[in-house]
Every structure is written in C-alpha cells, then in structure tokens.
Amino acid sequence: MSNTVLSLRGVTKRFGGLVAVNAMDFDVTEHQVMGLIGPNGSGKSTTLNLISGALKVSGGEISLRGTPITALPAEQINRRGIARTFQLVRLLPSMSVLENVVAGAVFGHKRRWGQDARRHAETLLARVGLEGKGHLRVGQLTYIDTKRVELARVLASDPKLLLLDEWLAGLNPSELQIGITLIKSLRDEGRTIILVEHVMDAIRSLCDTCVVMASGTKIAQGTPQQVLSDPDVIRAYLGDDDV
C-alpha cells in the first residue's frame, strides 16, 4: 500500500485561450512538505485553486488517497481532508478570534461541535501562539496574528493535507523567522503540506521536495538544493539573458 496522499495526473486549466496550468503531474506522500514554486504568473496559485476545488479543472485527474476528487465541489474536497489558506488572508470580520477557528472545526474533515469544538479551537490557538487572544475581534489583530488565526482555522478540521498559499508573504524579517519556525513545527508533527511560496529561505529550510512551475508547466522537481541549482529553473526565474 502506497503512502501517497495527493496525486495530480495531467491536470490542465484553460481560461479561454490561455493555458494557465498545463498537464501537471506530481505526487505528495505522507508527512511530506512540498514546495510549489515558480515566478509570478507561473500557475502555482491556480494549481492550488484546482486542488482545493476553487476552480474546476479543464482536464486531467486529481486524487486524494487514491480516490478521485476532480469533479467535487470545494466543500466536499474540504470534508475529505484538504484545507487551505488564502493568498490574501480571509478572516470572518463579525466573529471573535476563537469563533474564527471554531468555524474551521465544525463542518470540515473531522467534525466537532459545542464545547468540544471550542476546546479544540483553544488548543489550536495556543498551538499557533495566540493563547488568551480568543475573545478579541479580528480587526484588533496584527498582520501576523491574522495569519496565525487562519492557520489555526485550517488545522481545526485535522486535514490530511494542508495547502498554504504564500502564507509567509508580507511578513517582516523577524515575523518571518517566527512564521518559519511555526510551519517547521507543523512539519515535525508529521503533517502533509503543500506550500506555495516565494521566500527562498523558507523553501530551503521547510521543503522536503519542490515542484517548479513556469508558464503553467512543471519544469523541475527534486529537493530544494537540486531544483535551485537547475539551469532551467534559474532561467525561468531570471530570464534567458542572465544565464
């Protein structure tokens, strides 16, 4: 029995005439942290949106633990165990911090309700470093704390796979260290994660494996050291003239 969590086979997305994602193939195995990297507009976020069901694929198949999830609506995909954060943090403005996390615990993969859900949410808030801040309104939070709340929310349903869409973007250098440490601790717990990321330090220290995309196509795959020294990857990032 293989320990593959997620696999993409020939996944393609077209917007009108534009091919945003072209025949993507990759597998994510259990306890693995996979970096999905590439220049702006290379199709990373689109790939994440296809996996999470925010967009419908134009072709190919996505499966979770061997079961196809390609045609499922987003809420079904979440219930089967894929939870995501958003490139621009999305919190629920009318609710408290604690309720924001409870929101992730009630309807998702592992379902909790009532006191059970609240206790679980409190544990997770402590887990991401927000102990004692559950009663605050989300408008009162600092930027990194809003990111922490979102992370706690996606953890709340005990997902089989976490999708973090540029979770470290926009943090200042000291916050970045805190953020990297936090995600490292998730990796140490044995969680399976796909990171869409631009921050190279984070990619080097967090990812077990990387998939590099350029113009919608996978151009390299391997450990961070391998892919970051690959001439194709350097060309994709810097353009032909600089090589």
Partner 1 sequence: MTGTDIRNLILSAIALGICALLPLSGSGYWLSIGVTIAMFTVLATSWALFSGPTHYISLATAAFFGVGTYVTGLGFETLPFWSLIGIAGVIGAVLAALVGLATLRLSGVYFVIFTLGLAELVRQVITWFQNKSGQKGLYVLTDISEAGIYWMLLSLATAVFLTGWLIGRSRLGFALRIIGDDETVAVHSGINSALSKVLLFMVPGSVAAMTGAILAPRYVYIEPSLAFAPMLSFQVVIMALLGGAGRLWGPLVGVIPFTLLWESISSNFPQQTTLLLGVAFLIIVYALPRGFVGLLDDLRHRTRARMAEGVA
Judged by the rule CB under 8 A, the positions of this chain that interact with partner 1 are 52-54, 73-75, 78-79, 83-84, 86, 90-95, 102-104, 106-109, 113, 153, 157
- Least CB distance to partner 1 at residue 199 (A): 23
Q: In the complex with partner 1, which residue's Cβ is closer, 98 or 236?
A: 98
- Least CB distance to partner 1 at residue 101 (A): 11
- Least CB distance to partner 1 at residue 111 (A): 8
Q: In the complex with partner 1, which residue's Cβ is closer, 15 or 113?
A: 113
Neighbours of 72 (CB within 10 A): 18
- Least CB distance to partner 1 at residue 79 (A): 5
- Least CB distance to partner 1 at residue 217 (A): 26
Tokens of 55: 């967009």
Write the CA distances from 103 to 72, 134, 152, 223, integer angstroms.
Answer: 21, 13, 10, 35
Rg (CA), the chain: 18
- Least CB distance to partner 1 at residue 103 (A): 5
d(CA 194, CA 237): 20
Number of alpha carbons in the 13 Å side-chain half-sphere of residue 234 = 9
- Least CB distance to partner 1 at residue 170 (A): 19
CB 158 within 8 A of CB 79: no
User: b/e map of 155-170 (b: 16 or more CB within 10 Å)?
Assistant: bbbbbbbbbbbbbbbe
Q: In the complex with partner 1, which residue's Cβ is closer, 13 or 153?
A: 153
Q: In the complex with partner 1, which residue's Cβ is closer, 79 or 191?
A: 79
